């Protein structure tokens, strides 16, 4: 299955909910007036696009309708598609410009962080990259064993220590090994606990310091894994993590299992953090770079 078809299939629940609500709402209007915009705003909020983002979209639509002199409600959908595309902007891929490049993956338990790391490692390996995974989530019971299963599936090596070890020490070992083995990308699993933000902040700062000391000048991606099925809760989670980490991108997981895929729009608008990767299935190949045009097309077709 091609990338677009896979994304479209993964977004089918979101598409049915989103497009169904939009079409039903627009179908009752014969003219463009303030009541239409109020109904549209409410509909967008119901589609998990969020209050602030929905208001911004409707404000932009009002302006475009006025500027272009549009009076036909059926044309609103095309305008909406354009506005959403503009909010999402041009997609930003992973920065893997150095050797090694380092990717830290953060996220609370249950969002699919471990499986996503396995999928990403597999994808990068298939792209011809030499990949190494660091099991630096030493806090959660069984995290190391779960990650080991996925690295075996991906066919990439893992650097680990025993549970309860210093996560920064694991990253240090991984970077030392990466230089010795001429590795292209080091992916580090990290603890995602948020109940003690200071501990998490201190841990991430320590890991970041080790990265820059051991791989001076390397590109560093800090990717936050969010569960798309949680809707607006994912935005709130991202806000909390953004307080303790310099997040460079979002990995949105379980996109195929929810009607709340519109959360991508809210994340991009509210947080100004790009969605860089999405997962659309349980298989090891079910991860792909986020593409604005494909996402919008899949949302509206």
Residue 75: Cβ-neighbour burial (10 angstroms; 0-12, 13-18, 19+):
middle
Q: Which domains does the chain have, with CATH numbers?
A: 3-88 (1.20.120.140), 101-300 (3.40.50.300)
pTM of the model: 0.90
In angstroms, rounded to a whole number, what is the distance separating the alpha carbons of residues 177 and 174?
A: 5
pLDDT at position 57, please? Answer: 95
- Inter-residue contact 106 to 223 (CB < 8 Å): yes
8 Å CB contact between 57 and 83: yes
- The series of mean pLDDT values per 10 residues for the chain, 301 residues long, is 67 84 89 93 89 94 94 91 93 92 90 93 97 91 90 96 90 94 95 71 84 86 90 85 86 83 87 90 89 88 80
From 289, 140, 130, select the one nearest 203 (Cα to Cα). 140
The pLDDT of residue 3 is 58
DSSP 142-208: THHHHHHHHHHHHT--EE---TT--HHHHHHHHHHHHHHHT-SEEEEEE----SSHHHHHHHHHHHH
């Amino acid at each position: 299955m091609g990338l677009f078809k896979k994304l479209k299939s993964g977004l089918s629940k979101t598409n049915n909910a989103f497009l169904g609500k939009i079409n039903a709402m627009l179908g009752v209007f014969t003219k463009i007036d303030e009541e239409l915009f109020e109904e549209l705003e409410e509909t967008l909020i119901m589609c998990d696009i969020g209050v602030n983002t929905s208001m911004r979209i409707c404000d932009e639509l009002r302006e475009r309708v006025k500027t272009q002199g549009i009076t036909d409600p059926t044309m609103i959908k095309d305008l909406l598609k354009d506005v959403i595309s503009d909010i999402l902007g041009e997609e930003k891929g992973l920065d893997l410009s150095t050797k090694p490049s380092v990717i830290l993956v953060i996220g609370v338990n249950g969002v699919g962080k471990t499986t996503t790391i396995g999928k990403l490692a597999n994808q990068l390996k298939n792209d011809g990259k030499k990949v190494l995974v660091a099991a630096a989530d030493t806090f959660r019971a069984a995290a190391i064993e779960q990650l080991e299963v996925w690295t075996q599936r991906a066919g990439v090596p893992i650097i680990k220590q025993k549970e309860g070890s210093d996560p920064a020490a694991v990253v240090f070992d991984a970077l030392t090994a990466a230089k010795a083995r001429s590795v292209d990308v080091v992916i580090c699993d990290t603890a995602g606990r948020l109940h003690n933000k200071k501990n998490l902040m201190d841990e991430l700062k320590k890991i970041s310091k080790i990265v820059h000391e051991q791989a001076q000048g390397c590109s560093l991606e800090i990717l936050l894994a969010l569960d798309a099925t949680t809707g607006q809760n994912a935005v709130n989670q991202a806000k909390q993590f953004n307080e303790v980490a310099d997040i460079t991108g979002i990995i949105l997981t379980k996109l195929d299992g929810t009607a709340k895929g519109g959360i991508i729009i809210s994340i991009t608008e509210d947080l100004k953090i790009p969605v860089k990767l999405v997962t659309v299935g349980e298989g090891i190949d079910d991860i792909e770079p986020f593409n604005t045009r494909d996402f919008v097309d899949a949302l509206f077709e």
